């Protein structure tokens, strides 16, 4: 049996700039029991590309499941810490009498913010085929708030299959692995027959291999009634398009927000190194992922992303 590992910093937010520094550092071998060449540690964060017209989007998780390349599954549960009532531990033992699920407002996790799902948890080293976020699907355990009113967020097959990330990854022997899952709400939230549905679009990246694009948007580009956002497409010279499930769909999007000095800023974070096409639109709220919408974009620009660096691009 593995000893449960306390989830340090549970519920705290991590700025992307700090994560760029941490990404280049070696990880701790701490966590649950067992150290040495046959084990490594895994850290997992979650972030979000935001959606418009909602104030909050809460998703409740009760654990994670991972499958190694040889088919062995490991299930990790969020439980109440018996040594610290109100605190949380991660355990390989099901906490049937003292579960403590994690409920996260994904809308608070954009512009380079992330929240910890797993912090340096010790696992057998080697290749893993996929991981699954185990979600709670009872009424109002996961919900969206629109216009101040909460609505149940239906997750089809969520109770049976959870939210699966079909990307392989490696936990190095005696080392650490550190990943972020981008939960793209702009692509994932659907309104059908008066009900809000979550059909998640998840993207997982290695934090040692990511950078960001950030900058400002001229105030003249944000007139009244505008819902501003920056769309990021993989590759150079891409003609920007809306989100509709047909290529080219953006890798991610970034909301444009006004800081305390009245300057409009954006931060498209957790991008793997490479070339991207970025474009600005004032019509993000019109982008329905179920339809082909004729959004107007600025002249696109090609930007190169370097791992562990923030590249600046300003929309003038």
- CATH of residue 286's domain is 2.60.40
In this structure, are 60 and 177 located in the same domain?
Answer: yes
For residue 205, tell me if it sits in a domain.
no
Model confidence band, residue 6 (pLDDT cutoffs 50, 70, 90): very low
Q: Among residues 276, 252, 282, 277, which one has the least CA distance to residue 264?
A: 282
Residues 6+ apart with CB under 8 A from 80: 86, 87, 88, 89, 95, 98, 99, 100
In this structure, are 166 and 291 located in the same domain?
Answer: no
In this structure, are 56 and 159 located in the same domain?
Answer: yes
Look at residues 200, 226, 250 and tell me which one is the last residue of a structural domain.
200
| β-pair type (163-165, 5-6) | unpaired
For residue 230, tell me if it sits in a domain.
yes
Q: How far is CA 271 from the centre of its chain?
A: 12
In this structure, are 78 and 152 located in the same domain?
Answer: yes
Residues 6+ apart with CB under 8 A from 246: 292
For residue 17, tell me if it sits in a domain.
yes
Residues 6+ apart with CB under 8 A from 288: none
| pLDDT tens track for 145-168 | 999 999 999 887 654 567 889 899
In this structure, are 19 and 141 located in the same domain?
Answer: yes
Burial of 194 (0-12, 13-18, 19+ CB in 10 A): exposed
Q: Among residues 111, 48, 54, 47, which one has the least CA distance to residue 285?
A: 54
Model confidence band, residue 5 (pLDDT cutoffs 50, 70, 90): very low
Model confidence band, residue 187 (pLDDT cutoffs 50, 70, 90): confident
How far is 247 from 77, CA to CA, in rounded Å? 37
277 - beta bridge partners?
233, 302
For residue 169, tell me if it sits in a domain.
yes
Domain span at residue 189 reads 5-200
In this structure, are 10 and 158 located in the same domain?
Answer: yes
Look at residues 200, 231, 259 and tell me which one is the last residue of a structural domain.
200
In this structure, are 136 and 250 located in the same domain?
Answer: no
pLDDT at 193: 84
For residue 233, tell me if it sits in a domain.
yes
Question: What's the mean per-residue pLDDT of the chain?
Answer: 86
| pLDDT tens track for 234-254 | 999 999 999 988 899 999 999
In this structure, are 191 and 240 located in the same domain?
Answer: no
pLDDT at 52: 81
pTM of the model: 0.83
Six-digit token pair at 312?
Answer: 């600046």
Q: Among residues 289, 283, 284, which one has the least CA distance to residue 196?
A: 289
Six-digit token pair at 242?
Answer: 């809306």
Secondary structure (3-state) at 287: coil
pLDDT greater than 90 at residue 42: yes
Q: Are 50 and 110 in contact (CB under 8 A)?
A: yes
For residue 206, tell me if it sits in a domain.
no
Six-digit token pair at 291?
Answer: 């339809």
In this structure, are 175 and 84 located in the same domain?
Answer: yes
15 - beta bridge partners?
113
- The domain total for the chain is 2
How far is 64 from 245, CA to CA, in rounded Å? 27
In this structure, are 263 and 189 located in the same domain?
Answer: no
In this structure, are 260 and 118 located in the same domain?
Answer: no
| β-pair type (13-15, 113-124) | antiparallel
Q: Among residues 92, 112, 97, 88, which one has the least CA distance to residue 32?
A: 92
pLDDT greater than 90 at residue 25: no
| pLDDT tens track for 272-293 | 999 999 999 999 999 988 889 8
Q: Please, what is the end-to-end C-alpha distance for the chain in angstroms?
A: 58
How far is 221 from 242, CA to CA, in rounded Å? 19
């Amino acid at each position: 049996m593995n000893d449960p590992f306390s989830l340090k910093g549970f519920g705290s937010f991590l700025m992307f700039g700090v994560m760029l520094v941490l990404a280049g550092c070696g990880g701790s071998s701490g966590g649950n029991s067992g150290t040495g060449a046959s084990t490594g540690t895994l850290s997992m964060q979650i972030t979000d590309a935001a959606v418009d017209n909602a104030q909050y989007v809460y998703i409740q998780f009760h654990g994670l499941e991972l499958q190694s390349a040889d088919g062995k599954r490991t299930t990790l549960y969020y439980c109440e810490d018996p040594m610290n009532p109100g605190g949380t531990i991660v355990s390989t033992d099901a906490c049937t009498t003292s579960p403590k699920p994690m409920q996260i407002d994904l809308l608070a996790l954009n512009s380079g913010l992330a929240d910890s799902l797993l912090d340096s948890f010790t696992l057998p080293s080697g290749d893993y085929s996929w991981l699954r976020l185990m979600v709670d699907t009872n009424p109002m355990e996961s919900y969206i708030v629109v216009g101040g009113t909460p609505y149940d967020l239906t997750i089809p097959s969520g109770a049976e299959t959870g939210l699966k990330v079909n990307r392989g990854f490696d936990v190095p022997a005696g080392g650490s692995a550190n990943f972020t899952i981008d939960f793209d709400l702009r692509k994932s939230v659907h309104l059908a027959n008066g009900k809000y549905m979550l059909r998640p679009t998840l993207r997982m990246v290695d934090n040692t291999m990511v950078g960001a694009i950030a900058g400002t948007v001229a105030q003249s580009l944000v007139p009244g009634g505008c819902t501003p956002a920056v769309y990021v497409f993989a590759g150079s010279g891409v003609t920007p398009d809306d989100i509709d499930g047909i290529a080219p769909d953006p890798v991610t999007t970034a909301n444009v927000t006004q800081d305390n000095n009245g300057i409009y800023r954006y931060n498209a974070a957790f991008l793997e190194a490479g070339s991207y096409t970025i474009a600005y639109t004032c019509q993000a709220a019109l982008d329905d992922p179920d339809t082909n919408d004729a959004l107007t974009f600025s002249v696109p620009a090609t930007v190169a992303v370097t791992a562990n660096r923030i590249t600046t691009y300003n929309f003038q």
